[in-house]
């Protein structure tokens, strides 16, 4: 109640005061240039402020856009890295060494960050050994990568495995360098 009373009193005082000011201003247009200059200055300042604000807003938008782009790029890069980074194995082995385990931990992190993604884990071998044995070995390699990810909490339902044995080498060479490259688990996002 009290607040309202004060508000009423204020209005009674202010409204006539404003009316008076307006009539004064009319006079000022034709009157002193000093007050006009002050007014111009105020207007300029206001415009400048608006411009600054607009610029800031644009800058923020641009920053936001860049940030989003960077995030998008990072996401794409992470996705590409997920697909491009192979888990490698020793000859005739499906065991995961420390490097392989580190790579798989990164894969698990990506899979947690992308809960909608389902993947295929391919198992591959080098050309040594024989076709049938290598199909079995490739099966074990893919499954050992899958089991490791499962133990890190990735749902088995998100991962399928396939063995290609020695049928799809990355490097067609016939030397240890090529063989090392070809003994791998490869990850494909469905």
Partner 1 sequence: MRLKPIATILSVVLILFCGHAFAGYDYVDINNPFLRKIPIAIPQFKAISGTAGEFEVSHSASKLLTETLAFTGYFKVLDPAAFLFDPQKDGIVAPNINFKNWTTVGAELLITGGVLRTADLVEMELRLYDTFKGKLIVGKRYRGQVADQRRMIHRFCSEVVYQLTGRHGIFGSKIAFVSSSSGNKEIYTCDFDGFDPKPFTHNKSINLSPAWSSDGRWIAFTSYVKGNPDLYIKNVIEKRGSVVSRPGINISPAWLPGKFELAATLSFNGDQEIYLLTGRGKIIKKLTNMPGIDVSPAWSPDGKQMAFVSKRSGTPQIYIKNIISGEVHRLTYDGRHNTQPAWSPRGDKIAYTALVKGQINIRVIDVDGNGLLQLTDGPGDNESPSWSPDGSLIAFSSTRGGPSKIYVMTAFGTDQRRLLDLPGQQSEPRWSANILP
Residues that bind partner 1 (CB under 8 A): 92, 128-133, 135-137, 139-140, 143, 160-165, 167
Distance CA 186, CA 13 (A): 81
Q: From the CB of 141, what's the least distance to partner 1, in Å?
A: 11
- Comparing CB distances to partner 1, the nearer of 77 and 92 is 92
Q: Which is nearer to partner 1, 163 or 186 (CB)?
A: 163
Q: Which is nearer to partner 1, 88 or 140 (CB)?
A: 140
Q: How far is the CB of 163 from partner 1 (least distance, A)?
A: 5
CB of 171 to partner 1, least distance (A): 17
Choose between 167 and 171: whose C-beta lies nearer to partner 1. Answer: 167
């Amino acid at each position: 109640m009290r607040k309202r009373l004060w508000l009423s009193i204020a209005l009674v005082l202010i409204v006539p005061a404003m009316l008076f000011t307006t009539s004064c201003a009319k006079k000022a247009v034709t009157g002193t240039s000093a007050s006009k200059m002050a007014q111009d200055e105020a207007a300029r300042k206001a415009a400048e402020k608006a411009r600054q604000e607009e610029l800031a807003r644009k800058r923020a938008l641009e920053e936001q856009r860049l940030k989003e782009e960077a995030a998008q790029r990072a996401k794409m890069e992470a996705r590409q890295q997920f697909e491009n980074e192979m888990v490698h194995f020793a000859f005739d082995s499906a065991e995961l060494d420390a490097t392989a385990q580190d790579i798989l931990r990164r894969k698990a992190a990506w899979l947690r960050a992308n809960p909608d993604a389902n993947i295929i884990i391919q198992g591959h071998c080098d050309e040594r050994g024989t076709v049938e044995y290598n199909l079995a070995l490739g099966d074990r390699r893919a499954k050992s990568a899958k089991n490791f990810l499962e133990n890190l909490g990735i749902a088995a339902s998100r991962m399928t495995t396939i063995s290609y044995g020695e049928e799809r080498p990355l490097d067609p060479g016939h030397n240890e360098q090529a063989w090392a490259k070809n003994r791998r688990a490869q990850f494909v996002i469905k």
